[in-house]
Chains A and B, each alone.
Chain A
Amino acid sequence: MKEPATFIKLWRLGPPIALATVVFLIVAGAAMIFYNEQAYRQQKLDEVGVQARILSSTVSAALVFDDRPAAQEYVNAMAANFEVRAAAIYDQNGALFVDYVRGNAEMPPAQLPPDAPRIENGRLVVTAPVIEGQSALGTVYLQTITEPFARRLERYGIIGLLVFMASLIVAVLGAAQVALGRVNQELESRAAALADANRQLQRQIQERELVQEALRQSQKMEAIGQLSGGIAHDFNNLLTIVMGNLQLLQKRLAEGRTDVAQYVEFAMDGLNRAANVTQRILAFSRRQPLAPNPVKLSRLTTEMGDLLRQSVGAGIAVETRLAADWWTLCDENQMENVILNLAINSRDAMPEGGKLVIETADLHLARPEAPFADAPPGDYVRLSVIDNGAGMSEEVRRRAIDPFFTTKPQGQGTGLGLSMIFGFIQQSKGYFHIDSKLGEGTRVIMLLPRYQGDGAVDDAAAPAPAASVARSQDRPAKKSTVLVVEDEELVRTLVVETIRDEGFTVIERADGTSALDVLNSEVEIDLLLSDVRLPGANGYKLAEIGMARRPQMKVLLMTGFTQDPIPENLARAGIIMLYKPYKLGDLVVYANQLLKAKRDPATP
């Protein structure tokens, strides 16, 4: 910041410098003229002096020997120099001896003038002594004209003109400097203002970023609060149901009553609903265990026809426009849930009745298109669920997929429906969009990538859903030995008791290390029933080591964490994963199935 200041100072010095230069130029010009004039005078004096001395030396003898005609000849010879106006010779006593006068020039005085040399009125008067052999014999007088004043003026006029021009240039330069300096200053102040504005802008941007960060943080906290609050609310309700019924059961049993089946039923109902809630949360968090299969959405929708019509009721017309013919890959049961959920949402938006349209279409995206700008080009199957109901405001539309966000009255909706759908579609590598305006109905559009792999064949029978495990009525031979590994004591007790009820021999362990000891012993084990996350060695490791030692042993793993997928090698070995919370009945079915397969390897 210091440099521009000195710069400005320099600019301000411009005018005085220019003025000083002009004054200097004028003084220098005057000095030059004065010097020239002096030099000219001196030169003239010298010139005329030399002429006078020449005359004096030639005329000496004529003067001495009084030869007037000869002297007159010498003096008249001076006429050859047109500058000479008059010439004269004075004798030893200063008396005029001879003279020459051109035209009407001033006559030389009769007596020698004492004040030579001198210049007056454009005349130059010079005298020189006549000396012969160091004796002064007389004096020569010469009167010449100097250069006319007008001509000298002309000469000096040129110098003056040059000085004037130079001064003018300097003055113009000085003025230009002043103007430039002013402009410069203005520019600088503008630049400073601009820099200031820029700083301010940057500060504002930073502040805005901070505010936005805070906003994001608070929104995140709000979402988390909403989520956890919703979960706690739902669970509290369900826990109240379960606890209340169990307390009543306890009381009735203490009273010795046996008509307690309804309490158990109510408690079970509450627990089922709780399991449902966790399932939905997992779906939203895109961590639910899915069994994707090749699915034709058109056929799926057709098969759901009756269910849909029953669900939405008589006041609403259901129309299907099923143009899609391509396969997609998704979990069929979950997809059914999605369609059903959307249909029910539409029904709720049309309390006075209306029209529900379910539409499928094959779609080739040549390039990303709104509203699916993030979908890469390729083939997709589009599924749309359209109603002409109440619609949503933009604010509601944007928050629609937030978990536990609901516009329905308390107790009618969990607020998890749309968020579950969104999670499921994303987990199936699809795209989801809601298009709605208040009073103009809602259109939910989903894109699922086209599937062209194994199983995408139009055979008569749909592929068997993975979840629909055949409930075998076959009872395996009794006394099979099952190793149960579970660190959570209550769960372990439950599992052990259930398995024992089925007539199996049970060995139970609470950690991976002791379980490994059992697996490394010679005890015969037919089935390993293990939690995945265990102190010591985890379930995968137990399965791996156990199967290495006992190729015939079957493995059934249990986990509450769905981000624990079955490793590739274990899946190939026929290991089954049970996700908590599971029904004890399912556990028995799976265990029996595995043991049957062990006995009869031909039928997996």
Chain B
Amino acid sequence: MLSTSAGLKALRAAVPVLIAVFLFARAPPPASAQDTALEFAVKATYLYKFAPFVEWPPQTFRSATDAITLCVVGDDPFGAMLDQAVAGQHVGDRPIALRRMPMAVRGASCQIMFIAGSRAQPVADALAAVRGTPVLTVTDRSPESRAKGIVNFVIQDNRVRFEIDNQAAAQDRLVISSKLLSLAVLGRANE
């Protein structure tokens, strides 16, 4: 436990430094393996950080200490990085639970769902599977793609930003904080 905790701390300390390095790298992205690793490390931390800015319908949780479940659907791009980022994190009194699943299933009791897609179930199918249920879907697709989650990661000025489809969120009975909306890249266009 002790070693795990120390590792976590090191990572947490490293993230802003990594971000700073990432931010001030003025050169066009060489799309190296290192860059990709850094990008996914940032996305991994962002995933659970969305939780405080999202309001789920009241019947979603049975008690105030129920965990918020973060599901990774399809081909997992994070690996152990995500486990490390989530480990020990809380949103208020709620712990973060991490679950990986090959396919999106309706009623799988996920509150946040990162849909990577797979051969068996492309992103669009997975999104369709949970549409209408209170799940914050997150995708990592090009902005031009038609099949995107409520939140979609984009790279802007060499930084990890995100789009938010507030209309889709509303259809899924999710309320997203205006603070989060104000940071979204194209969210403003959707309003």
Contact = CB atoms under 8 A, between A and B. Distances in A.
B183 A135 contact: no
Contacts of B85: none
A133 interface: yes
B93 A134 contact: yes
A60 B179 contact: yes
Contacts of A92: 12
A132 B51 CA distance: 10
B52 A132 contact: yes
A61 B49 CA distance: 9
B19 A133 contact: no
A312 B159 CA distance: 173
B61 to A, nearest CB: 13
Nearest to A58: B179
B182 A70 contact: yes
A68 B159 CA distance: 11
Nearest to B89: A135
A452 to B, nearest CB: 141
A65 B13 contact: no
A135 to B, nearest CB: 6
B51 A65 contact: no
B179 A135 contact: no
B16 A93 contact: yes
B16 A135 contact: no
Interface in B153-191: 159, 161-162, 177, 179-180, 182-183
A25 interface: no
Nearest to A60: B179
Contacts of B16: 66, 91, 93, 95
Contacts of A135: 52, 90-92
Contacts of B161: 67
B93 A61 contact: no
A58 B12 CA distance: 23
Interface residues of B, number: 23
B53 interface: yes
A594 B46 CA distance: 177
A107 to B, nearest CB: 20
A504 B51 CA distance: 178
A93 B183 contact: no
A334 to B, nearest CB: 149
A133 B177 CA distance: 11
B52 A66 contact: no
B92 A65 contact: no
A93 B13 contact: yes
Contacts of B53: 61, 64, 132-133
A320 B16 CA distance: 163
Contact of B180 (A61, A66, A68, A134): A61
A62 interface: yes
A67 B51 contact: no
Interface in A63-99: 64-68, 70, 91-93, 95
Given A95-B16, A135-B91, A65 B52 contact: no
Contacts of B19: 66
Interface in B49-89: 49, 51-53
Contact of B52 (A68, A93, A133): A133
Given A61-B177, A91-B16, A133 B91 contact: yes
A277 to B, nearest CB: 152
B170 to A, nearest CB: 19
A67 B19 CA distance: 11
Nearest to B52: A133
Contacts of A91: 16
Contacts of B93: 134
22 contacts: A58-B179, A60-B52, A61-B53, A62-B183, A64-B49, A64-B52, A65-B46, A65-B49, A65-B162, A65-B183, A66-B42, A66-B159, A67-B183, A70-B183, A92-B12, A93-B12, A93-B13, A132-B52, A133-B53, A133-B92, A134-B92, A134-B93
Closest 10 CB pairs of A and B: A133-B52, A61-B179, A134-B92, A132-B52, A133-B92, A67-B183, A61-B180, A64-B49, A133-B91, A61-B183
Given A61-B177, A65-B162, A70-B182, 7 more contacts: A64-B49, A64-B52, A65-B46, A67-B161, A95-B16, A133-B52, A133-B53
Interface of B: 12-13, 16, 19, 23, 42, 46, 49, 51-53, 90-93, 159, 161-162, 177, 179-180, 182-183
